[in-house]
Amino acid sequence: MLTYGCDAGCFMCDLPQRAVRFKKQKRVEFDTAQMLKVVDEFVSIGTTGIGFMGGEPLLRKDFFEIIKYSDERGLPVSVFTNGHFLDRPTTKEFLKSGIQSVGISLDSVDAETHDRLRGSKGSFKRATDAIANLRALRESSFPHVALSVGMCVSETNLDEVIPMVELAEKVGVDQVYFEALHNYHNDYSPGGLERSYVARHKVSDAEKLDRVIDELLEIKRSNGIIGNSESYLKLLKRSLRGEELPIQCYAGYTTCFVDCFGSVFPCVTYMGLRRSIGNIQEKNLKEIWVSEEYRQLRGELSACRECFHSCNLETTVLFNRIP
């Protein structure tokens, strides 16, 4: 994670508020040298790919330097962004920096609804303009860069899931990804962290949910535009029904997450809940990765049923049979 800061204000996300709180506490996010060291530490544990997110990662002035360095270290780079800062010149620099894949958030096919959900007026226009810029420049000089949109699905936008597939085709991205919406309810009062939890959104009309996901599965079987696996789409149905994750999670083995203060988490949800396993300012990532504490945590994670985040589950489903 490059920064907690973000110019948007999505209703399900408290990262921008955390950034303000950290600033008041005079906590300083990692500088460029520290960030490049994080990249080195990922290389040292045999990482096969790195994803940069925020907050909004493009808010960092050294963003391109970090991407370029990761590329030079041999890590395929993915970036997840709200797309607000990808004007034409920035997009060119962005594509030149060595990026392999970029995902842009779109939560509605309707500009006003998207702006409301993202807490940012003009967000839809800026995101779709970014896609147009990425497409135009990619076609001329960077054909290897994968371009996708990602939608957080909840009751609010369930009717827009199929139209989002159509929008993805219209704007010309390679793939569209659907993700179950999660809310992080962090309680910062004394002892509050123990009471923190992740809430998943349950839709009220289960039959409609089934129809929508079944239609997605049909489209998936005939058309390459949907990036999620069939297994994840089936899990999405369960998530939005409010069911528990029905499979063992392998997040402890497949992912590792470091924030811009050096805190290490096994997955994005543990970051949301601030359950860190260590800090790379105290021990290097390799020591943390092979530590007894991490070994014990992997046992805890195997029994964890907290979330349906696709970043972990798409890998985890490869190790499980999905009922």
Among 1, 2, 3, 16, the residue binding ligand SF4 under the rule CB under 6 A is 16
Which range, of 12-20, 24-32, 62-70, 213-221, touches ligand SF4 by CB under 6 A?
A: 12-20
Nearer to ligand SF4, 59 or 209 (CB): 59
Q: How far is the CB of 303 from ligand SF4 (least distance, A)?
A: 9
Distance between CA 210 and CA 240 in Å, rounded? Answer: 10
Residue 267 binds ligand SF4 (CB under 6 A): yes
Residue 178 binds ligand SF4 (CB under 6 A): no
Residue 245 binds ligand SF4 (CB under 6 A): yes
Distance between CA 66 and CA 60 in Å, rounded? Answer: 10
Nearer to ligand SF4, 66 or 313 (CB): 313
Q: How far is the CB of 106 from ligand SF4 (least distance, A)?
A: 11
In contact, 65 and 31? CB cutoff 8 Å: no
Instruction: Please state the three-class secondary structure of the chain as a single string.
Output: CCCCCCCCCCCCCCHHHHHHHHHHCCCCCCCHHHHHHHHHHHHHCCCCCEEECCCCHHHCCCHHHHHHHHHHCCCCEEEEECCCCCCHHHHHHHHHCCCCEEEEECCCCCHHHHHHHHCCCCHHHHHHHHHHHHHHHHHHHCCCCEEEEEEEECHHHHHHHHHHHHHHHHHCCCEEEEEECEEEECCCCCCHHHHCEEEECCCCCHHHHHHHHHHHHHHHHHCCCECCCHHHHHHHHHHHCCCCCCCCCCHHHHCCEECCCCEEECCHHHHHCCCCCEECCCCCHHHHHCCHHHHHHHHHHHCCCCCCCHHHHHHHHHHCCCC
Among 9, 76, 98, 172, the residue binding ligand SF4 under the rule CB under 6 A is 9
Which range, of 32-40, 133-141, 171-179, 265-273, touches ligand SF4 by CB under 6 A?
A: 265-273
Which residues partner with 52 through β-bridges?
A: 79
Task: Find the binding residues for ligand SF4 in span 95-154 (CB under 6 A).
Answer: 118
Q: How far is the CB of 98 from ligand SF4 (least distance, A)?
A: 23
Residue 212 binds ligand SF4 (CB under 6 A): no
Q: How far is the CB of 29 from ligand SF4 (least distance, A)?
A: 14
Nearer to ligand SF4, 73 or 202 (CB): 202
Nearer to ligand SF4, 137 or 301 (CB): 301
Q: How far is the CB of 155 from ligand SF4 (least distance, A)?
A: 18
Among 94, 270, 289, 294, the residue binding ligand SF4 under the rule CB under 6 A is 270
Cα end-to-end span (Å), the chain: 33
Among 1, 2, 8, 95, the residue binding ligand SF4 under the rule CB under 6 A is 8
CA nearest neighbour of 80 among 137, 15, 154, 26: 15
Residue 269 binds ligand SF4 (CB under 6 A): yes
| Per-residue mark of binding to ligand SF4, 40-79 (x: CB under 6 A) | --------------xxx-----------------------
Return residues touching ligand SF4 (CB under 6 A). 6, 8-10, 13, 15-16, 54-56, 82, 118, 245, 249, 251, 267, 269-270, 301, 304, 306-307, 309, 312
